[in-house]
Amino acid sequence: MQRPPTIVITRGARSVDRYRAALEAAGAVVCEWQAGGPEALAAIGDPAASLRSVDGLLLPGGGDVDPRLYGEDPRPELGEVDAERDELELGLAAFALTRRVPILGVCRGIQVLAVAAGGSLWQDIATQIPSAGVHRRDLPDGRSDRGALLHDVRIAGGTRLARLHNTPTLAVNSVHHQAVRDSGQLRVCAEAPDGVVEGLESGTGGFVIGVQWHPEELWEQDSRYLTPFIALVEAARLRMREGD
């Protein structure tokens, strides 16, 4: 009997419990690599050896990516950056993209994927895309409203994401002020009605999907949002069968 796939979640200071729960519901064994921790330092030093011990990679949400990593100076609206986490995630993402390790990026994760693939980001949607709609709604106590379905996304036909969800539109939550500007070597597979990029995937084979919304906050109320986690685990299981 084949063992369950092992998926690594990278993280900074924030909890990844919601991602862990979704992956475990999808059938994975989960391990966490904390930025600055021993596993993360080993992965930075030798991503090939570190990723050899896992079957897939999940890049979760979090703070902003340092714009200097894609050749821009920081704007005043830039939020908190974490150099250790940037180094870990960009290194792992770049290596995983070349070795076809299955990857799912969520929120910050889709942005990390874009930068690792040679792309760039809008540092602040509100000031750099004034015509954009609302992509973040905060509660009176300052917390982000992660459970509210804030807008639809249009999923491009013929893409992996379209096959997974089997619908041209999907209502999503939205908790971000940055977004993908240039997708680099990846292709755009979903957009908000205002044209802001909401989904990326590989067009050259291998399982690589990034979504700007937070399905880990929604799947317990609606199983459709567990779909990307199931797909990641299935891609990891397939890779296990085929061998690296």
42-62 pLDDT tens trace = 999 999 999 998 999 999 999
Mean pLDDT of the chain: 94
Distance between first and last Cα of the chain: 19
Strand 151-155 to 169-172 pairing: antiparallel
Q: Is 201 a catalytic residue?
A: no
Q: Is 107 a catalytic residue?
A: yes
Compute the distance between CA of residue 223 and CA of residue 22 in angstroms, rounded to an integer.
10
Q: What angle is formed at CA 100 by the lines to CA 159 and CA 197, rounded to 5 degrees?
A: 40
Residues in the chain: 244
Q: pLDDT by residue (tens digit) across 160-196?
A: 999 999 999 999 999 999 999 999 999 999 999 999 9
Q: Is 56 helix (H, G, I), strand (E, B) or coil?
A: strand
Out of 107, 135, 151, 217, the active site residue is 107
- What was the pLDDT predicted at 142? 65
Compute the distance between CA of residue 32 and CA of residue 19 in angstroms, rounded to an integer.
11
Compute the distance between CA of residue 40 and CA of residue 47 in angstroms, rounded to an integer.
9
Question: And the tokens for 119?
Answer: 């792309």
Overall average pLDDT of the 4-8 stretch: 96
Compute the distance between CA of residue 89 and CA of residue 57 in angstroms, rounded to an integer.
10
Contacts of 15 (CB under 8 A, 6+ apart): none
Q: Is 176 a catalytic residue?
A: no
Measured in degrees and rounded to the nearest 5, phi and psi for residue 184 equal 60, -130
| Complete edge-to-edge strand list for the sheet that includes strand 208-211 | 29-34, 6-11, 56-59, 103-106, 208-211, 197-201, 187-191, 151-155, 169-172
Strand 151-155 to 187-191 pairing: antiparallel
Out of 32, 89, 216, 217, the active site residue is 216
The secondary structure of 95-129, three-state, reads HHHHHCCCEEEECHHHHHHHHHCCCEEECCHHHHC
Out of 151, 165, 176, 214, the active site residue is 214
Domains of the chain: 6-242 (3.40.50.880)
Nearest residue to 168 via CA among 152, 187, 150: 152
Is 60 exceeded by the pLDDT of residue 244?
A: no
